[in-house]
Amino acid sequence: MNSTRESWASKLGFMLAAMGSAVGLGNIWRFSYVAGENGGGAFLILYLVSILIIGVPLLLAEVSIGRKAQSDVVGSYQKLAQGKPWFMAGFLGVLGSLLILGFYSVVAGWSMYYFWNYLNGHFFTVPEEGYGAAFEVFTTSIGQPLFWHALFMVVTIAIVLTGVKKGIELANKIFMPTLAVLLIVLAGFSLSLEGAMEGMRFLFRPDWSVLSNPSVYIAALGQAFFSLSLGVGVMMTYGSYLSAHHKLPGATIGIGLMDTFFAIISGIVIFPAVFAFNIEPDSGPVLVFITLTDIFGQMPFGGYVGILFFLSLSLAAVSSSVSLLEVPVAYLMRAASWSRKKSAVIIGFVIFLLGIGASLGMGALSGFTPIGERNIMDSMDYVASNILLPIGGLVMALFIGWYFSKKEALHAADLTDSAVGTVWYLIVKFLAPVLILVIFMNALGVL
């Protein structure tokens, strides 16, 4: 069966696709407001350390499992640990990808809506009711958000059903360089604003006093973990399309570096502009859709900046959504023997239905709070990000560190006879599980 399994055309194609998965709304949207809420520069340093000590080692672990098994997230565990219950974690990954894309596609639809309204000039001037009220009217309505959610899912499905080489790899070969250029242009413009250097100082001059707050460490660990798409099976699935002659350590380090680059360059786009217009950097999730649009409305050529920014956000969202859709699609192609086209269309439709609930939860169903006082979207995010992903990452680390022998683990990761390999193995076996448990318990409110 593996003889006809799809594969990447090149190692670069895999790296760009993996970067596309990692570089999404989490880098441009989430990183900026999490950094803003946690003191800027000191958080950035902790984030970089976290990428090094937990992000890249776990990324290498996940990719190595997929490449060794040459199967989807469920099949990989079934193949490598026959008759053992490890594969249950694979089902959590499939469920996690469905939940995440269910609400992610709604937010991505918002980004496409904003891009379109900047492109047609509608948002070049401040709406009569203001950007904040316009955002609330749009997100709480029924028809418009669902239209953009549907359009976003159509784009995602179209890329995935085309295949690994001609769909996912080709799209990311176009999207990622384009995204890099767009963000660099935006960063240059942001730095040209009067008062921009205050934003740079916030991002790069650490306020060490924030390190007395334990939550900053946990936020940095969590951002590093989530920004690399760890624990949901994306990197395992993508790794399964690699052949044995593609060496993993260099590729995973490159992915970690580029993911970090995109996060930092996004901060350079956002924080100088935020400080130039005297906006608080800890504005939270509304930073992109309300705060920045207010800023664009006040700056010279702001409408054109809005076009470039929301095009960037939309490209990043598509590259991530494609990877999330590929997880259940790859599973059904193997487990149900469905074609790629059938799997992509059916799973895509299921995700669209999940997104309807997430979208209506912002307005018509806002009174329905499945978990605590969280609306439908926040509840989906909570279950996926705070429960399913950490469990998936923990099982993956335990699988490599405790089920595999050290020799098997090092061989799978292309680190045999390497001092670096021993360090990596010890991190995955001992340190990573402890840190994931800390993230997990903090998310559940235990810590």
**How does pLDDT run along the chain (447 residues), one tens digit per residue?**
444 689 999 999 999 999 999 888 767 767 777 888 888 888 999 999 999 888 999 999 999 999 999 999 999 999 999 999 999 999 999 999 999 999 999 999 999 999 999 999 999 988 888 888 999 999 999 999 999 999 999 999 999 999 999 999 999 999 999 999 999 999 999 999 888 999 899 889 888 888 888 888 888 888 888 788 889 999 999 999 998 888 899 999 999 898 888 888 988 988 888 888 887 766 655 667 887 888 888 888 899 999 999 999 999 999 999 999 999 999 999 999 999 999 999 999 999 999 999 999 999 999 999 998 899 999 998 898 888 988 999 999 999 999 999 999 999 999 998 889 999 999 999 999 999 998 888 877 776
Which positions ≥6 away from 132 have C-beta within 8 Å? 286, 290, 294
C-alpha–C-alpha distance, residues 326 and 309, integer Å: 26
pLDDT for the residue 330: 98
CA dihedral 204, 210, 213, 215 (to 10 degrees): -30
C-alpha–C-alpha distance, residues 330 and 7, integer Å: 12
Beta bridge partners of 371: 374
282 CB-contact burial (10 Å; exposed 0-12 / middle 13-18 / buried 19+): middle
Cα-Cα-Cα-Cα dihedral sign, residues 394, 26, 376, 441: positive
What is the amino acid identity at position 3? S
DSSP label of 299: S
C-alpha–C-alpha distance, residues 211 and 269, integer Å: 25
C-alpha–C-alpha distance, residues 227 and 371, integer Å: 24
Count, in order, helices (H) and strands (E) of the chain: 23, 0
CATH at residue 232: 1.20.1740.10
Which positions ≥6 away from 427 have C-beta within 8 Å? 53, 54, 57
**Over the chain, what is the mean pLDDT?**
91
C-alpha–C-alpha distance, residues 84 and 76, integer Å: 12
pLDDT for the residue 2: 47
C-alpha–C-alpha distance, residues 344 and 365, integer Å: 28
**Long-range CB contacts (within 8 A, 24+) of 337-341:** 340/160, 340/161, 340/163, 341/161
C-alpha–C-alpha distance, residues 221 and 218, integer Å: 5
Which positions ≥6 away from 42 have C-beta within 8 Å? 206, 207, 208, 210, 211, 216
Instruction: Quick: pLDDT tens for 106-128.
Output: 999 999 999 999 999 999 988 88
pLDDT for the residue 284: 57
pLDDT for the residue 8: 96
C-alpha–C-alpha distance, residues 21 and 114, integer Å: 22
C-alpha–C-alpha distance, residues 76 and 155, integer Å: 28
The number of domains in the chain is 1
Classify 371 as helix, strand or coil.
strand
**Do 232 and 392 contact (CB within 8 A), yes or no?**
yes
Instruction: Quick: pLDDT tens for 23-41.
Output: 887 677 677 778 888 888 8
Nearest to 135 by CA among 290, 272, 313: 290
73 is in which domain, residue-wise?
Answer: 2-444
Classify 374 as helix, strand or coil.
strand
3 CB-contact burial (10 Å; exposed 0-12 / middle 13-18 / buried 19+): exposed
